[in-house]
Structure 1
Amino acid sequence: MTYSLSDFGSYWAGGEVLCVTEGAPREIAFTRDARFTYDPRGDFAVNAAYVQYFVPAQAVDAPPVLLVHGGGMAGSCWETTPDGRPGWLHRLLDAGRVVHVVDLPERGRAGFAPGHLPGEPILRSMQEAWTLFRFGPAEGFADRTPFAHQQFPVDALEAFARRFVPRWQGTAHLHLAAFLAVLDRTGPALVICHSQGSETAFDAVATNPNRITGLIALEPSAFPDDPAALETCPLVIVQGDHLDSADHWRTRADRWATLADELPDARLIDTAHEVASGGSHMLMMDRHSDQVLEATLGHVRV
């Protein structure tokens, strides 16, 4: 895989200025040799999305691709797999696509303002990831015994867990506002989202359908409030394997199938049958991730 870039960089999109009037100045040490008076009051720029963009030298004539991470993750999930293979970012660039990798507010390099967000943040454990993402049964965690034909590189579980970031609950409205600002910057785009990122993507289609030329949702954990809002948006839903491992996965799989059936321009890709068995919730990191991307893009006309 070889490609050249004509441009790359980063920007922040959306956000707001928050005026804080409560609190009192106090002296703090910010290194072992330096102290200064910190004032928690003032104007703070918060709730923007951080975006890194890449433009291939031989870019194809197609809308840019926006990559949107899932819950407790950041844009790094699209860059390199936990076992060191090129991620979907690199594969898309190799195919000549302009790519924007999004860190939604309070995730990754977008940063967070802990005193100005609702509640306390949570951080995912490796045990939770093991079962929730369908790497293997709970009793298999200690010795890393996965489900049969598992495609996720379980030997790289710790490397994967280093990518986990704190997440706050109740910030969906902040994600949507920032993502709409990203779309204002990029213009019409193909959106590839994962898990919780589907909530932001579905809401963006409902709010501004002309900005999204197509939507690829990897195992979405949210569903559109009004499916009819997606009737003019090409939609591809992609699912992995071992969906019978928990009731909530069986329920989601049924809803994915129903949503795909309801919409005139929607397609459900069952990777266990159309690509290979053993796909996890982290389809863009699995060993067959290249084949999953190829199969997925084959159903997108933009």
Structure 2
Amino acid sequence: MFHTAHAAPAQAPKTPTGPLTLSAQGSFFIGGRDVTSDTLSLTPKYDAHGTVTVDQMYVRYQIPQRAKRYPITLIHGCCLTGMTWETTPDGRMGWEEYFLRKGYATYVIDQSGRGRSATDISAINAVKLGKAPPSTLPDLFAAGHEAAWAIFRFGPRYPEAFKDTQFPVQAQAGLWQQMVPDWLASLPTPNPTVANLSKLAIKLGGTVLLSHSQSGIYPFQTAAMNTQGIAAIVSVEPGECPKPGDVQPLTGIPVLVVFGDHIEEFPRWAPRLKACHAFIDALNAAGGKGQLMSLPALGIHGNSHMMMQDKNNLQVADLILDWIARNARAPRRGR
């Protein structure tokens, strides 16, 4: 059984230097469906009628020499793209490169309908052309700096920062540049990202699904669909955890949930932490292998919701990589 971790804080690592040698790198798309529409264009230069592919998922991969057994698939959250895992806003090494330097192949996705994964614009054009009522417009969301400040727990209110914040607030403009409109509410149900993650895990023959925030629930939903290819799940501050009654599909998959600091000071976050505690307890009671890692309980303070970009991001990465090394295992045969 695994419970909330209580241990001395890990020593902050030095940023690795020197050449980074890869055996392969590239990108591909997975999933998607074809949509035929008469509202693909508002300009006479292009035919409004045609077929486009939507709901596919962009994947970029990098594989180091002598890669370890299970690659890590990095899944970004709300209003962001795969850039989440790359260079930090103040120019430091992100988790993608650090994981590579630690011997893990990385697969960085853009969620379906985000970044380099296509969106379906036909509904918007249909309204502008008068072929559909405004009520059919997709629901879109963009997080303003002010709202994101509290959601990401940089401080109690914009632009006030916690005295111990680990986020590099002096470089906040670099984070705001990363943020994009969120098409989540306009996507089909279930979210095509979930099915695409399952296809990716099967394609790779085993991977650790590492998710964040909005996408925190996706690996669990993927496992409920098919456990094949899932060597472990790491969920960094998930927007929600599975309900205690939904743990059965996860009993054969090692699970780590990670939370940062100042949780109890935000009504958005305190209930989420409590629900994730209940989930981990239920998973372990059902014979699974789960752990909730509270960074403050380890003596590591000030981490924001964007801990992969915090000033101590490599220290947190080491804790996660240590857990993966000890717990990731050959996936069960899927359903």
Verify same fold: TM over 0.5: yes
- Contact kept, 8 Å, 1:7 with 1:56, in 2: the verdict is yes
- 1-structure distance, mates of 2:41, 2:313: 51
Shift of 1:24: 8.9
Matched, 1:267 2:291: yes
Matched, 1:277 2:277: no
Q: Which amino acid aligns with 2:151?
A: L
- Contact kept, 8 Å, 2:94 with 2:308, in 1: the verdict is yes
* From 146, 166, 173, the counterpart of 1:151: 166
Q: 1:202 to 1:116 in 2, by over 3 A?
A: farther
Number of residue pairs matched? 288
Shift of 1:169: 3.3
Aligned to 2:65: 57
Shift of 1:26: 5.9
Aligned to 1:189: 207
Residue deviations 1:194-235, cap 9 Å, x none? 011122211101111122110010001122251222111100
* From 126, 140, 143, the counterpart of 1:121: 140
Task: Decide which moves more: 82-91 or 144-153.
Answer: 144-153
Residue deviations 1:2-42, cap 9 Å, x none? 4201110000000011111x3497644xxxxxxx2x22211
Aligned to 1:74: 81
SS in 1 for 2:147: helix
SS in 1 for 2:323: coil
Q: 1:23 to 1:98 in 2, by over 3 A?
A: closer
- Contact kept, 8 Å, 1:269 with 1:296, in 2: the verdict is no
SS in 1 for 2:304: coil
* From 6, 19, 32, the counterpart of 1:15: 32
CA RMSD, 1 decimal: 1.8
Residue deviations 1:153-190, cap 9 Å, x none? 11111110111111123335222122222223222111
Q: 1:16 to 1:290 in 2, by over 3 A?
A: same
Ranges in structure 2 where 5+ consecutive residues have no aligned partner? 1-15, 125-136, 329-335
- 1-structure distance, mates of 2:238, 2:120: 27
Q: Which amino acid aligns with 1:274?
A: L
Aligned to 1:48: 56
Shift of 1:111: 3.1
Residue deviations 1:216-260, cap 9 Å, x none? 100011222512221111000000010122222110111121112
Q: How does 1:1-302 map to 2 (within 5 A)?
A: 1=16, 2=18, 3-20=20-37, 22-23=38-39, 27-28=43-44, 36=45, 38-60=46-68, 62-116=69-123, 119-138=138-157, 141=158, 144-170=159-185, 171=187, 172-224=190-242, 226-264=246-284, 265-300=289-324, 301-302=327-328
TM-score by length of 2: 0.81
- 2-structure distance, mates of 1:4, 1:198: 31
Identity %: 30
Q: 1:58 to 1:105 in 2, by over 3 A?
A: same
- Contact kept, 8 Å, 2:232 with 2:253, in 1: the verdict is yes
- 2-structure distance, mates of 1:95, 1:24: 45
Q: 1:232 to 1:26 in 2, by over 3 A?
A: closer
Aligned to 2:4: none
Q: 1:81 to 1:26 in 2, by over 3 A?
A: closer
- 2-structure distance, mates of 1:275, 1:11: 41
Ranges in structure 1 where 5+ consecutive residues have no aligned partner? 29-35
- Contact kept, 8 Å, 2:70 with 2:105, in 1: the verdict is yes
- Contact kept, 8 Å, 1:275 with 1:295, in 2: the verdict is no
- 1-structure distance, mates of 2:146, 2:216: 24
- 2-structure distance, mates of 1:230, 1:108: 30
Q: 1:162 to 1:275 in 2, by over 3 A?
A: farther
- 2-structure distance, mates of 1:113, 1:106: 8
- Contact kept, 8 Å, 2:40 with 2:122, in 1: the verdict is no
- 1-structure distance, mates of 2:41, 2:208: 47
SS in 1 for 2:269: helix
SS in 2 for 1:279: coil
